[in-house]
Amino acid sequence: MNSWKKNLTLSASLLSATLLVACGDGGNAEGGSADGESAGIETLNIMAPTFETTAPPSGNEWEEALVEFTDQDVNIDWVPNVNYTDRMNVTLASSNIPHVMVVQGKDPGFLNSAEAGAFWELTDYLDDYENLSQYNEDILLNSSINGQVFGIPRERDIMRSTAMIRRDWLENLGLEVPTSVDELYDVLKAFKNDDPNQSGADDTVGMIIPTWYGSLDTLSVWTGAPNIWGFEDGEIVPTFATEGYIDSLEMVRKMVDEGLINTDFTTLSPDDWDSAMFNGDGGVIIDVYSRAMRINNLFNDENGTESETYVDITGTLTAPDGNEYGQSTDGYSGFLAISKQTVTTEEQLEEVLTFLDKLASTEGANLLNHGIEGVTYDLDEDGYVLPIENDLTPYSLEQLGMYGEVYSMRPEGELAETRYRLMEENEENVVYNAAAPLVSDIYARQGSQLDDIIEDARVRYIAGQISREEFDAEIERWYSSGGQSVIDELTEKYQELMETQE
Amino acid sequence: MSTNASLHELHNTKGGRIFDKFNIIFLLIFALTTVLPFLYVVAGSFATEAEIARRAFFIWPETFTLNAYRHIFTSQAFIRSIIITIGVTVVGTLTQLFFTFTMAYPLSKRNLKGNKLLMNIVIFAMLFSGGMIPTYLIVEQLGLINSYWALILPGAINPFNLIIIKNFFQHFSAELEESAKIDGATELQIFWRIVLPLSKPIIATFALFYAVAIWNDFMGPLLYMHDTSKWTLQLLLRQVTISSDPNALGQMDPDFVPPEEGLKLAIIVIATFPIMCIYPFLQKHFAKGIMIGSVKG
Amino acid sequence: MISLLYLSHRKGVNMGQEVSTEVLEKPISSKNVKKKSKQKYFWQYKYLYLMLLPGLIYFAVFRYAPMYGIQIAFRNYVPFLGMHGSEWVGLEQFRQFFTSPDFGRIMFNTLFISFLSVAVSFPIPVLLAILLNELRHAVYKKLIQTFIYIPHFLSWTIVVGLTHVLFSINGGAVTEILASIFGERVDFLANPNWFRPMIILQQVWKGAGWGTIIFLAALSRVSPEQYEAAIVDGAGRFRRIWHVTLPAIRPTIVIMLILTMGSVLSTGFDQLFLMTNSLNRSVADVFDTYVYQMGITQAAYSYSAAVGLFKSVVGIILIVSTDFIAKKVDPDSGLF
């Protein structure tokens, strides 16, 4: 009996210690640091991700310039980009919520918090500010949550997708840079069959695809399919339910069948994508422009050249129906959200927005993106930026940049020039994701499993492992395991959104 | 184990020699497969981007370049984080060893009252945890944000290690303790003067386990080190290697330019090499393990 | 002869055991003890209790205080709302998990990989440690030991990348060699039948060397006298391993096995995630990757807390039953 009693005492004391800490903790977590209610904001706390491998020290010259420019004391909490979401959620649970948080996307942690009232809804405020009102309407809508703006988007390029092709192979075979999907097919065929590397052996394929299947999405949009979600006949439709998608799917299956695509496309790591083209396993990749630049740099590195062009880029390719459909991004990369818990009054909100408004000016945007003129960069006679190598170089503040005119770097070499020309031209025929602003609860719950059904079916179909009937059966499975509910929900929200927009 | 060698002399049959040959060949082949990939990482860190892309595997670069290392070692932040990581690892390992060994010893006394309950508490804590956010809030409450102790104290006792150490102690010679007790030594003295000195292999083993765990920890610094000048190597390592995560491809800020491959490999080398080096140093303690027989004399 | 030898070495290794109870005074039979003697008992072992203190405080503060967080599994936890502000949903998360159409498959895959791992990846370090222990030259021994533990420090990304270099259907070194021998090319990375062997192969390669450390530490306490006695008795090499080396590390093996059972439903995320592709997903989906997948699209704190709780409960059941079996076989072994 005795030892039993002792156990009890021991466990009781342990438990009380536990409770003590736990309770103390629970209490404070709710409290928040919202003392000094309507007083002005002395130091504005910002939480932002950094991609750099070296940590920006606080109070560096660049940050001081920012303080001086905005006339607002700031404290930036740089968080490594890896697991930024974890830190964000932990911070939301803690008593130290920053005034402004960079949110990297509409991830569920953010959505739940926004729904619970953690952030200011900014739709009605932005137009009162000189620079913040200069948003791109499509992008602001895309970044909204069912039309409600919970953050100021960090605008990004809309057009990024291109095919990139080895120029030496094109030259060896006397081929032109393709301008349409059909021409691309011919190039792939020639790359497979006509010995583009002049090795005398059948050791090349046309296009390289790794286990990340963005290429196939791009190809389907170019062929005329919607960009993830379309809106047809009063209903939101998933891309795979459209003719354009099926056409491109059949085309890719044919390509695989004819050996135009690398045999290990079901297992090739995206890490080895660049080197597969560089090494001459294949001559074409469909991905973003920056990859083309990287591969081009590899060739330059190998040949000891500076900015020669070894890779041709195509931009959007014309669809078989003769039209151009440009695959767009959502046009933003996360947004800056303002905490309702620490920014408690309209006056304080105004203060914060005034601060952000300054950063969205030309001067502010350049300060964030390029730093201090004369210290981190100079402008040449054409108004292009010439960066100055400097201790501050790695500590870029561009993660806080929203929009605003930014000086550009002089495009180095033909490839860069072509890239900017194509990006601008292609923007005319942009196809947005119709459901970009919409947030579906059902999709939030089951989306990734639904996505896997389609992804797996697509890969197995083009690999020739399943028949068209089996592929269709998988699509049916998508609808019946929740896909139809997602469509219904999105359609309803889309219609609501359209009503409020008008 | 020098004694083993003499044993082998004593027992040197033909079968034994054949076994020895096979054994050594087998182990050498296995060791080779384990060391080659690391040699590739090292070689790659000295190679040009083009070479890394062109050659799937190599252990000697065609063209040597120190670019990656120059980049790393000209950065103050890098050097600072190396120093911080080493400091936290050393202090942390000692602290965690203290917590674990002092608790493991009394726990190993099977008849000490309350031990069964304590073991239950330990085992329960090994399997159930409150999760990331509650732990963060506790650390915040204790005022440990931005303190290096936040990287050490939350993991002061790994229940897994505790149980194994306790188990080791349970199989410890009781005769020595008994005779010390008769001489009037307290348990503290016995622990300090007899048990610990005879447990060098165990201490070395768990020093290694703890050191590696602290060294490789990145969630701790990510959550608790808000001051960027206190970042550890693992954060930097994760920053450069995460771009290899295929899943990150679709979600990453498209403007993000992944670091050069050579730099990535160089950071991997810098972030793993120092901690790999401690094993050979600890090894000698394994050889000098307690020889119950000889002590007993 | 053998049985004699066996006995003698058992005495050598476990000699602590038989007398260990005597370190403490004879346990005081609890029936005829009064309060005073309880205090006396405490006072007598005050140093031992004192030594427990730092550990106890640690467990209270850093392990048990956060445990109120377990209720996350029963709520729809939104960090911003805090624990009490988040909606209580009871067993909803569990219901969602257990009724998921994939539950059966995921459970099967997880258990399959886990038990393969216990059957293959667990014994190999023991074997390696014994082989290392048999190495005659100290230099070789140290060198090999140092090499084989290196992979532990390489991330799964690197290990998987290496696997691709070796096993790719498109020019992988191993694939080519095997193709030239058997005349048939196997797609090790995409063929679902090869998924589990590849996973285990990677685990062994990466973890075996590291796993030996604990057993080598245990082996360092074997008395040379025991070997000598065995040799004098004329025991051959394998008998010596069987009757001296193995029993010396047996308590460690048993305790490691018991502890391993506690994490049987945790197969590790990185490796499986990186090895999964569209063609092998049917065999590759396990709890850890599944929870991650749920986490991408929804704030899975509650959901993954629920799955985690389920894993812990299964873990504790397995630990207790393994411990029970171990004690049945050998009353000296086990957790307590």
Distance CA B63, CA B46 (A): 8
- According to DSSP, the residues that pair with A336 across neighbouring strands are A102, A152
Task: Tell me the pairing of strands A332-338 and A152-155.
Answer: antiparallel
Q: Is the pLDDT of residue B297 over 80?
A: no
Please give the CATH architecture assigned to the domain spanning B66-297. Answer: Orthogonal Bundle (1.10)
- According to DSSP, the residues that pair with C226 across neighbouring strands are none
B residues 7-46 closer than 8 Å to A (CB): none
User: Do the chains contact at B289 and C220, CB–CB below 8 Å?
Assistant: yes
Q: What is the pLDDT of residues B244-254, one digit of tens each?
A: 444 444 444 55
Whether C98 has its CB under 8 Å from any CB of chain B: the answer is no
For range B62-82, the mean pLDDT? 86
Comparing CB atoms, the residue among B107, B130, B292 nearest residue C221 is B292
Give the per-residue pLDDT at B255.
Answer: 55
**Environment class of B222 (CB within 10 Å of its CB; exposed 0-12, middle 13-18, buried 19+):** buried
Closest chain C residue to B138 measured between Cα atoms? C66
Chain A positions in Cβ-Cβ contact with residue B239 (cut-off 8 Å): 51-53, 80-82
SS3 A48: strand
Torsion, Cα A111 A117 A120 A124, to 10 degrees, reads 90
Whether B143 has its CB under 8 Å from any CB of chain A: the answer is no
Domain ranges of chain B: 1-65, 66-297
- Yes or no: say if A90 and B136 are a contact pair by the CB < 8 Å rule: yes
* Strand locations in C215-322 (E): none
Question: B275 or A409: whose pLDDT is higher?
Answer: B275
Chain B positions in Cβ-Cβ contact with residue A54 (cut-off 8 Å): 75, 77-78, 236
Q: What is the mean pLDDT of each run of 10 residues along chain A (502 residues)?
A: 47 48 39 49 91 71 90 90 85 91 87 91 94 92 94 92 96 96 97 94 94 93 95 94 96 97 91 91 94 92 90 96 93 93 94 95 91 87 83 74 84 88 92 93 83 94 95 96 94 92 71
Distance CA C149, CA C211 (A): 8
Question: B294 or C144: whose pLDDT is higher?
Answer: C144
Look at residues A27, A31, A33, A44 and name the one whose alpha carbon lies nearest to residue A97. Answer: A33
Helix (H) or strand (E) holding C207: helix C192-219
Q: How many CB atoms lie within 10 A of CB C293?
A: 18
Q: What is the pLDDT of residues C49-102, one digit of tens each?
A: 999 999 999 999 999 999 999 998 999 888 888 888 889 999 988 998 888 888
Buried b (16+ CB within 10 A) or exposed e, C130-146: bbbbbbbeeebbbbbbb
Closest chain C residue to A211 measured between Cα atoms? C277
User: Do the chains contact at A116 and C169, CB–CB below 8 Å?
Assistant: no
- Residue positions counted in chain B: 297
Give the per-residue pLDDT at A249.
Answer: 97
- Yes or no: say if B89 and B208 are a contact pair by the CB < 8 Å rule: no
Buried b (16+ CB within 10 A) or exposed e, B92-127: bbebbbebbbbbbbbbbbeebbbbebbbebbbbbbb
Strands lying side by side in the sheet with A205-207: A205-207, A282-288, A161-166, A311-313
Closest chain C residue to A276 measured between Cα atoms? C170
Chain A positions in Cβ-Cβ contact with residue C161 (cut-off 8 Å): 269, 271-272
Give the per-residue pLDDT at C135.
Answer: 85
Give the per-residue pLDDT at B49.
Answer: 87
Q: How many CB atoms lie within 10 A of CB A357?
A: 23
Q: In tens digits, what is the pLDDT along chain C, a chain of 336 residues?
A: 333 333 333 333 333 333 343 444 444 445 555 666 878 888 888 899 999 999 999 999 999 999 999 998 999 888 888 888 889 999 988 998 888 888 999 999 999 999 999 999 999 999 999 999 888 788 888 889 999 999 999 888 889 988 988 898 888 888 989 999 988 888 999 999 999 999 999 999 999 999 999 998 888 877 777 777 877 777 778 888 888 888 888 889 999 999 999 988 888 888 998 899 989 999 999 988 888 777 655 557 888 889 889 999 999 999 999 999 999 888 877 787
Whether C84 has its CB under 8 Å from any CB of chain A: the answer is yes
DSSP 8-class letter at A180: B
Give the per-residue pLDDT at C296.
Answer: 58
Give the per-residue pLDDT at C232.
Answer: 78
The pair of structure tokens assigned to A501 is 């927009």
**Environment class of A464 (CB within 10 Å of its CB; exposed 0-12, middle 13-18, buried 19+):** exposed
User: Do the chains contact at B7 and C228, CB–CB below 8 Å?
Assistant: yes
Comparing CB atoms, the residue among A269, A448, A463 nearest residue C164 is A269
Give the per-residue pLDDT at B257.
Answer: 64
Chain C positions in Cβ-Cβ contact with residue A444 (cut-off 8 Å): 297-298
Chain C positions in Cβ-Cβ contact with residue B241 (cut-off 8 Å): 155, 157
SS3 A157: coil
Distance CA C229, CA C240 (A): 10
Distance CA A284, CA A312 (A): 10
How confident is residue B9, by pLDDT bands cut at 50, 70 and 90? low
Q: Nearest C-alpha of chain C: how many angstroms from B70?
A: 23
Distance CA B202, CA A23 (A): 39
| Residues in Cβ contact with A327 at an 8 Å cutoff, skipping those fewer than 6 apart | A159, A161, A217, A218, A221, A222, A227, A316, A431
Look at residues B240, B46, B272, B285 and name the one whose alpha carbon lies nearest to residue C149. Answer: B272
Whether C212 has its CB under 8 Å from any CB of chain B: the answer is no
Residues B19, C200, C132: CA angle, nearest 5 degrees:
25
